[in-house]
Amino acid sequence: MAYALLSVSDKTGIVDLAKTLTKLKFQIISTSGTYQHLASHLKGVKLIPIQEITGNPESFDGRMKTISFQIEGGILYDRKNKIHLKEARKLKVPKIDIVVCNLYPFEASPSIENIDVGGPTMIRAAAKNYADVLILVDPRDYKRVSRHLIKCHSERSEESKKVRSFANAQDGKFHKELAAKAFYHLSFYDSQIGRHLLKEKFPKEITLAGRKIKELRYGENPHQKASFYLEPNTTSPLKNIQGYWGRQLSLTNLTDINAGILAIRLFKEPSGVVIKHNSPCGIALGKTLDEALQRAIEADPESAFGGVIVINSPLDLKTAKVIFKFKKDKRGLIDIVAAPSINNEALELLKKVRKSMGIYSFGEIKKDVKEVNWKWLIGGFILQESDNYIEKSFNSWEVVTKNKPTKSQLEKMRIAWKFATFIRSNCIVVVDKNLPMTRGIGTGQTSRLRAVQIALKQANTHAKDGILASDSFFPFDDCVKLAAKSGISAIVQQGDSINDDLSVKAANKAGIPMIFTHHRAFWH
């Protein structure tokens, strides 16, 4: 006689699965909550309460119910081992060929009582013995498994009916797939418990938990496959990403949206950014969202071609018209537009801009970030504290020159510093003298002087009286001299170089106020 053990917290689809198992002549064993649920929906079907198998009542508020020799033995013994078969008969261990189990909802409600013990024990036993036992942990697999079982049952020949276990007649590859899924499920579950209990940023051993959200169009290149995962209980706006029109997301599209969110999440004011290859080519603030986006595009319209637009406020019709006008006047194509939300009028207009332009929303941008983030390496990763010091660093700023920045300059310097914090290092930003927008960005350079040259060249005449920000210190005075030659009116940089005196001297000679942040803002 073959048994199926059903013990689930999430009851989705369990009744239909039980009906299929009953038709296939499985005896169904179930625990209290699952038993009551099935009994109320399966009239006339014999269900076996778990205590009839274990010989013990469910005890200690349900902490003990499935853990027993009879249950684990019935799952684990090897159906192909004659000694095991003999022992199973002697000990009257039931032949449990199917285990259906999902766990207490720790992710939704982290608590000691929601740490499942019996469930993981059954799952691990069934997954280890996958050659003989089919393990199901995901309700989304029920229909697929039901079809598989029915097909295998109908196709069994007279010879295969002699097989001692029904599960042995199943496809080994299919069993193995479900077992692997079960082990990943346990690892995902346990990793959350470990984080909840320890609260340590850098434990000796760690598992990164991720749940697959969607398959991507491709990875960095069309020949690379990719999928998108999110951590449990994340506050990331990417968990709410929703497409309305145009292209499906690739890795580069998604990482560009992510970079855009990072670039503008520090601002309460309406702000917009155009991203290319994970770096901004234009960032701006405005009194209105359309004004901010117009400035972000204007900062570098050439680079904006084929870019990704990300904004921090709901996308309205006026803002959509900025994108429409960019296409009409400059023949400027945008690959992706992403916003917290998009109203219907704006959406209908954007659909007319470009057939393949992806239009996405991602909900509210939360200012808080996780305590740690990770960087991929070959064969591993690095965990690091998140940089939450950007605004706090303003308190450590020091004016190091004879000339002090004006109130207006100081405001622009703070904006420029925020802009620089999520642009690829080495990074130099030139901000307009009057407007809160970039005029030049030197990014991803191995030479800081070269980053200055690129930013100033891009800014062109807008460099005059503009603000220059550097995400780290100037190793020599050549950067300050070059900035002065282009007419920069104020500089904000990290400082703390052995050649600081030379840079301060050059700034004083040019009459440029300069601030040291005493804080580096690398981003790679």
Name the active-site residue from 11, 19, 41, 128: 128
Fill in the amino acid letter for 303.
S
List the catalytic residue out of 84, 214, 277, 325.
Answer: 277
Cα–Cα distance measured from residue 492 to residue 258, given in angstroms and rounded to the nearest whole number: 26
Amino acid at 212: K
Token couple for 443:
């990014």
Q: Report the distance separating Cα 152 and Cα 23, nearest Å.
A: 13
CA terminus-to-terminus distance, the chain: 61
Catalytic residue flag (residue 128): yes
What are φ and ψ of residue 42, in 5° steps?
-120, 75
Q: Chain centroid to CA 492: how far?
A: 33
- Is residue 354 packed enough to be buried (19+ CB in 10 Å), middle (13-18) or exposed (0-12)? buried
Tell me the residue type at 115: I
Is residue 95 part of the annotated active site? The answer reads no
Strand locations in 404-478 (E) = 428-431, 438-442, 467-470
91: helix, strand or coil? helix
Query: How many other C-beta atoms can be found within 10 angstroms of the C-beta atom of residue 352?
Result: 11
- DSSP states along 289-304: HHHHHHHHHHT-HHHH
Strands (E) across 123-193 are located at 134-136
* DSSP type of residue 360: E
**One-character DSSP codes across 328-340:** HHH---EEEEEES
Q: Which residue has the tokens 């009994």?
A: 39
For 272, the enclosing helix (H) or strand (E) is strand 271-276
Q: Strand 271-276 and strand 227-230: pairing?
A: unpaired
Active site residues: 128, 277
